[in-house]
Structure 1
Amino acid sequence: MTSEGENVVKFSPHEREFQSDLIPLRSRVRESAVSSIRYGTSSKPLYVATSQSGVVLATVINDQYIREAYRDDYRNRSVNGFLSVQKARNVTVSQYPWASANGDPPSTYQVYDKVTKTRIVHPQGLIRAYLDSGTKKIYREIQYKVLAGDDHVPYGTTFQNNSTNLHLVVNRTYSGGPLRINLTDSEGDPVDGHIEIGETELGDTGPTGTIYTVSPSREFTVTATHDSETVKVTLTPYGVTNGSSNGETPRNAGGSA
């Protein structure tokens, strides 16, 4: 009689290494971009930043900000090293003091080749961090942040324009960060208006008068239109010097990712 253990799929060391190589390619951000291209679904603005050693992608899906980062120089399979699950958890949570102190107890487990994954659930979202046991550094991170409701992330400094019957408020953030845009009338009631960032159409604010997206990396202008009225706000992300004349807009996932 065949035992159940014989039916369990077992991966060779080479296969486990291959599985670990796929980690950077799997995420909700990438899935959203692929879906937009392959199936023609509604595209989401996609922020992309690259360097010689890494990449950052960010988008907003259903009022949730998702940011993923990958550092190739923090991943080194040739470095021999072993970390127990407890030590890996300690190294990881030390990088997220607020989330660890205010959230649920983190969960950590070994995945594939010399990689541990830690999951931290906190009041404003979720963090998934992948630690290389050789370099002892987090080489892969995905953060999910709540943008609406009682437990939303703190909003940045407000930039506003109420020169017409429309009142446009934009909360400043960092490049690629979660950008909140709110449109109301002179009485403070929400207005369903059409929003553009630079020359890129973003969408409508809907019944709540609010829409979220990712911030461009340079100075940009938000334009809101309702009926025959238009109102604009121009601002620069945190950490960016003023004076950039070409407002870089988030890339459209349907056309570039």
Structure 2
Amino acid sequence: MRAVSVFLAIILVTATVAGAVPVASIGDAQTSGKSISQINQEGSGPILSTLGISPVEVQRSALQTTYVELGRGLEFASIATETRIQTETTLNRIQSASTPSVRQQRLLQALSETEQRIVILRSQQRTQISAYGDENVTTEEFLARLAAIDTESRALIARLSRLESAANSIDGFSIPASRFETLRIELRTLTSPVRKHATEVITGTTERSRFVIQSGPQSVVVGTLINDAYVREAYRGRLRGTNVGTELNITTPTNVTTEAYPTITSLRRERAVTAPEGPITRVRINHDRGRLVSFIHTSNTRIFKEIQHRPLAQTSTRRSLSAVKDGLRLTAHPTYPGGPVRFQLNSTATEQPVDAPLTLGPPSGESTIVGETGSDGSLWTLAPDGTYQVTAIDRNSVVLVSIDPSFPPLIYGAVGNSTRENSTETGVNDAGSNVRVSGGDS
């Protein structure tokens, strides 16, 4: 099996959702002809739950293929370079202070300025999410602006490490390590491997790639395929609380993730908690089917951001659907809207895999080539919101499967309401308490 790595055409498939709730099962294949048949198959296992936007709150969604853009690539390089120069200038100014007292004052000022910049970046993200939901920016522009925020946030994380080292080098002076850790966690809520991948695509560091984007009130979900893995970021601003309320301890954040992700908890190999006593706590879980990083706000003990990394080889699918026509069998193995979907193409005469291009698009709408099945007859790609159809064309043979997305396996539905009943996770088993406190990167 292989993920989409080469696209045969420029792809831009946009599916706009305005308060529509997807149905809960895969639809019948929309095909015609005497030689057509349909075969339903059971899924390969439970679908792991995710943080996401309830279908009733999705304002806009799209599939977007991003390419190298020299102009935006130079902009990203400029952001990173400018931030590094500012960091060096700030550190030189601190080190050149005439007295330890002045050095301390300048260091505190630099830390305060970094805090102010984080506030600005959070405001910029809110503005961009709102603008995208209101259709004031294109999907391409929105993804690039999220990537730009990621670029600067990573540069500021590096600055914080330099400032912390400078503070520790001043005799008789110290700044609580928790203050630096709190700022680093805040910055990491503005970064993700998905955004970094978008930066790498736009700057030409890696090949073009396809992204799925959803937006809702103060919320965004972005996913992509990276190195045979599905990587997804979800941010729900409405689940962020204020800085007053419940204070987390070492056990509370693990309880929160256990409740939200029972199957992931049962599959875990290692769990790390960062800043358990801060305003935002991060819990990272390495498990048998991937990796989860969740961010919990102390005021309401709700998960407001997550990053999930799922190797495609360990990705479970829902009930599958096959269609047979013209000597071809095309089988769809979906997960959920915006998630990965695998297609398998075989010859009905020999059962051998068939290498052929696949097109994807809305029913009765324009379809676009998303890749080829290859020598193993298999192709992973990203599923859009709403009903879509996939067509395989091998010489004069054509077979088509139409799919209605099932309800996404969300840990929370509409804000303030739990949708555990919608989760497909099973098998809660929180055996052991292998929790370690970590200050490392995600």
TM-score (norm 2): 0.48
Equivalence for 1:163: 325
Aligned-pair CA distance for 1:10: 6.1
Q: Does 1:132 align with 2:297?
A: yes
Equivalence for 1:22: 187
Q: Is the alpha carbon distance of 1:227 and 1:41 closer, same or farther for their aligned partners in structure 2, counting shifts above 3 Å?
A: farther
Unpaired runs of at least 5, structure 1: 241-257
Equivalent residues of 1:17, 1:112 under 8 A apart: no
| Amino acid in the other structure paired with 2:401 | V
Q: Among residues 350, 353, 367, which one is paired with 1:190 in the alignment?
A: 353
**CA deviation vs aligned residue, 1:189-233 (integer Å, no higher than 9, x gap):** 222211111222211122221111221111111011234433211
Aligned-pair CA distance for 1:111: 7.7
Equivalent residues of 1:130, 1:141 under 8 A apart: yes
Unpaired runs of at least 5, structure 2: 1-165, 362-366, 409-442
Q: Does 1:122 align with 2:271?
A: no
Number of aligned residue pairs: 235
Q: Does 1:89 align with 2:257?
A: no
Higher relative contact order (CA 8 A, sep 6+): 2
**Greater share of strand residues, 1 or 2?**
1
Equivalent residues of 1:179, 1:213 under 8 A apart: yes
In structure 1, C-alpha distance between the alignment counterparts of 2:249 and 2:407, rounded to whole Å: 38
Aligned-pair CA distance for 1:5: 4.5
| Amino acid in the other structure paired with 1:236 | D
**RMSD (Å), alpha carbons:** 3.0
Q: Does 1:225 align with 2:393?
A: yes
Q: Is the alpha carbon distance of 1:22 and 1:38 closer, same or farther for their aligned partners in structure 2, counting shifts above 3 Å?
A: same
Equivalence for 1:71: 236
What percent of counterpart residues are identical? 28
In structure 2, C-alpha distance between the alignment counterparts of 1:63 and 1:38, rounded to whole Å: 21
Aligned-pair CA distance for 1:166: 2.1
In structure 2, C-alpha distance between the alignment counterparts of 1:122 and 1:193, rounded to whole Å: 35
Q: Is the alpha carbon distance of 1:202 and 1:31 closer, same or farther for their aligned partners in structure 2, counting shifts above 3 Å?
A: same
| Amino acid in the other structure paired with 2:345 | L
Q: Does 1:39 align with 2:207?
A: no
**CA deviation vs aligned residue, 1:39-78 (integer Å, no higher than 9, x gap):** 2743322111111131111222233122221111222353
**CA deviation vs aligned residue, 1:139-163 (integer Å, no higher than 9, x gap):** 1111122322xxx232222222221
**Greater share of helix residues, 1 or 2?**
2
In structure 1, C-alpha distance between the alignment counterparts of 2:372 and 2:342, rounded to whole Å: 13
Q: Is the alpha carbon distance of 1:86 and 1:112 closer, same or farther for their aligned partners in structure 2, counting shifts above 3 Å?
A: closer
Of residues 112-121 and 24-33 in structure 1, the stretch that sits farther from structure 2 once superposed is 112-121
Equivalence for 1:174: 336
**CA deviation vs aligned residue, 1:23-47 (integer Å, no higher than 9, x gap):** 2331121122222222274332211
Equivalence for 1:235: 403
Question: What SS does the corresponding residue of 1:25 show, helix, strand or coil?
Answer: coil
**CA deviation vs aligned residue, 1:80-120 (integer Å, no higher than 9, x gap):** 54212222222222211111122224221218952211112
Q: Is the alpha carbon distance of 1:17 and 1:99 closer, same or farther for their aligned partners in structure 2, counting shifts above 3 Å?
A: closer
| Amino acid in the other structure paired with 1:126 | R
Equivalence for 1:247: none
